[in-house]
């Protein structure tokens, strides 16, 4: 009982495992259907994804909250001593031969690295 991809978006689609639709109980012949009527209430599946969600197997899955937006990440790249080697507060230069492994707390001004 084949249905085609259009069926999911069709007003006539029966949403019934034993019946494709009232016009073509066995499913339309071929890859397109002359009786296809777009259901205005159905979102086109492959075109649109809300922010923070993606389609997997045709189902909309919410992504876990990203800790940083892209903008914040870019700012982090610009200012974080991990990337600049310099304290964003006072400009203290972290010694290159003794770099902190995780937290880049500044010994000069007390700036605390809370990004990790
Ligand atoms: Zn500092």
Tens-place pLDDT, residues 78-112 = 888 888 999 999 999 998 887 777 788 999 999 99
Q: What does the block give as tokens for 87?
A: 């304290």
From the centroid of its chain, how far is CA 57? 14
pLDDT of residue 92: 94
The pLDDT value recorded for residue 32 is 87
Least confident segment among 9-13, 42-46, 105-109 = 42-46
pLDDT recorded at residue 105: 92
CA-based nearest residue to 81, from 65, 73, 93, 66: 93
Q: What's the CA-to-centroid distance between 91 and ligand 1, angstroms?
A: 6
| Strand residue runs (E) in the chain | 13-16, 19-21, 53-56, 59-62
CA distance 63 to 11: 30
Cα 68 from chain centroid? 13
**Ligand 1 mean position to 71 CA, how many Å?**
23
Residue 46 has pLDDT above 90, yes or no: no
**What's the 31 CA to ligand 1 centre distance in angstroms?**
66
Distance 81 CA to ligand 1 centre (A): 10
Q: Which residue's entry shows tokens 């085609």?
A: 4
- Whole-number Å distance, alpha carbon 66 to ligand 1 midpoint, is 28
Between the CA of 18 and the centroid of ligand 1 the distance, in Å, is 69
Ligand 1 mean position, distance from CA 101 (Å) = 17
CB 28 within 8 A of CB 54: no
């Amino acid at each position: 009982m084949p249905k085609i991809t259009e069926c999911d978006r069709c007003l006539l689609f029966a949403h019934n495992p034993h019946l494709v639709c009232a016009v073509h109980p066995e499913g339309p012949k071929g890859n397109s259907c002359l009786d296809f009527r777009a259901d205005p209430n159905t979102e086109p599946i492959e075109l649109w994804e809300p922010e923070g969600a993606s389609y997997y197997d045709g189902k909309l899955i919410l992504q876990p909250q990203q800790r940083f937006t892209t903008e914040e990440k870019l700012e982090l790249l610009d200012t974080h001593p991990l990337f600049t080697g310099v304290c964003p507060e006072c400009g203290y230069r972290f010694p290159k031969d003794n770099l902190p492994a995780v937290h880049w707390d500044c010994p000069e001004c007390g700036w605390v690295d809370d990004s990790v």
